[in-house]
Structure 1
């Protein structure tokens, strides 16, 4: 029996192959199913120290020693004990001891090469549960922070078998983790449950989607609310907000089926005024926008677009330049990030991040590229939504809602 050594390597540039390995399979080989293949690997996400189980097919039975690990364009990350491969299929196990950014996994055995289509390389980061939020389940809450206190309230939840607007408002002491209920707001309009919040010039603002499209500001020092004199005119409020020193952006859209607008409202704190900015012109009207501020610009994605009367999922990603009021299409989200369901965008450490279900991606505005970060581990996949976030002591805090358990929790993410 023949012994072999298998080397598993990641391409540092996803479109580059090293010369000594076999070329891409020809169309004839692919058609005949004779080219080396990675059938699957488990788990589909790997971290340093994990064991990766790979199923291979169509590798030849004649091997020579492979020394390609010494080349500069690949990195040796694991070896397979000597074994015997059949011509049809085998299963290998290796220990991962180094990780590099890449979207392709390459397996090299002798002169044969197979390239995966969906390797997932997870970067650094960690999640920690901080608290279970009071007053039961809650979606779409208003969230902001002053000093060592986070404020949380309003939104909507299930009460007595019905979905209803929630009028309560809470303060969380971030030093000791204690919650204090501040007050209830007497609201009869259920649309008060749909709100977004932002902070400008030391004040927190909450805009409610209601018949009057009301906007209020909160002063933490005096624990008082004041009604703003200016309101925006949009019919639909959505999740996305971002702010700088003197203004805030709110992602909003009217009913796209009725040819409504999709774009941003800007709030100017100096003039206490809202103004509608440019429409998104590079795509069909979208009912939902998710994104975040990076520097002075807003980066966002379109969850769905309306095309010929039907909503289609999309991975489109854009930058809105607040100075020129123009939109630029950027690199689409990675192939793995196929839909925008349960997505949430936020800024952290000067970069943009988007959570989609349990997956977290970081966007680098300088290189216009994406990097997979540590998955959210609080709830099972396909059961979580995110509502609100803030930064505190160099860490990010995110409110996560579990659909199956109907509970809202506060989680901390740090790198």
Structure 2
């Protein structure tokens, strides 16, 4: 009788033990870092979150004596980039390996929400042999995760580098060393601007997502540590700035339903070479409606119908190039970032308001050397950013004339502890 009970218990427990061992392969693994930035600016700046995300120096504002009010230095210490990440693994589905990721930081969603926990990434992935499907919130495909600046500053090279995270559906197909990446995406935190300020509704109301198509070649030699990466891509975006227009006559205001669009095309090309000792990166972007990517540009009113108030829009053209080079030492790295961005104006005459970033800026450039020192899980990283904005007056096509360069030095020390 005891033998029968023992056999019965073994029969019941063995499958449970096997299931328990299988389940231990899956779950969530947490990682991240604690980060504090200590920084000094030589003048007032255009930035986000108490100066933490630096874009460029603020323009001159002269008082009655001709003194520049913005020529005032500032200093701050912030820990809002402290980050928590959870990598999720699970059993196969539809013949594919499954995974997920959730990541957040204490950057907040708006200035008044600073220190608030903010969702950065949240996605699931299905991986077959040569195909990957990603659904969720992740980097915009013009932020190439295999080729972006290695700066200490959280701006990661913006506004020279496209910087945006978006809800999306992304399909990647591999052909050996080649891959094609197709993405449909919307906006949430990094949004376009328009008549009612910054909002994702201009894209939402177009009823068509933003589309991106990218082609990439990546060759790696595991023995020598060399890597060559090259890619090109295109992006299409359509916005609906207004759902209605109005005109005033003797009887008052008349309201008309409006469906006018602002459309833009953008292109990107990038290159990376990595050896055992050095990594070199180069990227160029020519774009329209680039406001939502934290770059110069946007759109403006080209024409207005006096009968019904309908407005035609014209995109602002933006050119940007950047390069980044750094050593690959595990304990100490030296790096240098350089970027240039040009406001090319519009192809058509502008008659109405601008919905754009830096419409009075002719060009920007930045030079930024850095040193990264690692010791175990601890990192200290000093960096200098010298950023110049050429402020002037836009002409009838939005090309900025009679500009004057305004510069800012930022001295930054980042302190990290990884876990």
TM-score, normalised by the number of residues in structure 1: 0.30
TM-score, normalised by the number of residues in structure 2: 0.29
Bigger strand share: 2
